[in-house]
């Protein structure tokens, strides 16, 4: 059995994008990966992000906003930045492998089919994990 790759998603506040990415990976790809998420300035998990994940059948149990310092003793195979601000302002990275950037904007409007920006973001992240060679 292949060992799971450890992934850390980083955003500025660890409240939306990185939380959603952590949940999607741990819910949909747990046989290959284990994901954590952290922020430069933890801001609490956005309840709208949790609602969007739950609508997609993604488990959000135990989600909480974390700082990089909380994960300082853990080593990751990959660190993925989901926003440029975090990349530019991170001094310490607990990584053995590679650092990647996948900047993902948070959509602010609803689509014509009624999906909120949070639901669109969940869809974008799921599509990224399905199509990006980094996750295969």
CATH number at residue 57: 3.40.50.2300
Q: What is the pLDDT of residues 71-86, one digit of tens each?
A: 888 888 888 888 888 8
The pLDDT score that the predictor gives to residue 110 is: 67
Distance CA 20, CA 39 (A): 13
Q: What's the total number of domains in the chain?
A: 1
Q: What is the pLDDT of residues 19-68, one digit of tens each?
A: 999 999 999 999 999 999 999 899 999 998 999 999 999 999 999 999 98
pLDDT class of 14 with cuts at 50, 70, 90: very high
Q: What's the rounded mean pLDDT across residues 113-131? A: 86
Distance CA 52, CA 6 (A): 24
The pLDDT score that the predictor gives to residue 95 is: 54
List, in order, residues 6 or more apart from 109 with CB less than 8 Å away: 117
Answer yes or no: is pLDDT of 17 > 60.
yes
DSSP letters, 86-129, are HHHT-----EEEEEEE-------S--TT---HHHHHHHHHHHHH
Residue 37: which domain range?
A: 5-135
Yes or no: say if 22 and 124 are a contact pair by the CB < 8 Å rule: no
Range of weakest confidence among 6-10, 26-30, 110-114: 110-114
pLDDT class of 112 with cuts at 50, 70, 90: low
Its pTM surpasses 0.85:
yes
Average pLDDT, the chain: 86
Tell me the sheet residues that pair with 38: 10
């Amino acid at each position: 059995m292949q060992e799971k790759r450890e992934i850390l998603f980083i955003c500025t506040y660890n409240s939306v994008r990185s939380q959603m990415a952590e949940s999607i990976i741990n819910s949909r790809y747990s046989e290959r990966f284990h994901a954590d998420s952290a922020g430069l300035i933890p801001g609490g998990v956005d309840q709208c992000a949790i609602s969007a994940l739950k609508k997609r059948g993604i488990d959000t149990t135990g989600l909480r906003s974390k700082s990089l310092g909380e994960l300082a003793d853990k080593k990751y195979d990959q660190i993925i930045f989901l926003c440029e601000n975090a990349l530019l302002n991170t001094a310490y990275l607990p990584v053995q492998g590679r650092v990647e950037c996948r900047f993902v904007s948070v959509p602010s409007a609803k689509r014509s089919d009624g999906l909120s920006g949070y639901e669109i973001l969940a869809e974008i992240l799921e599509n990224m994990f399905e199509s990006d060679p980094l996750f295969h």
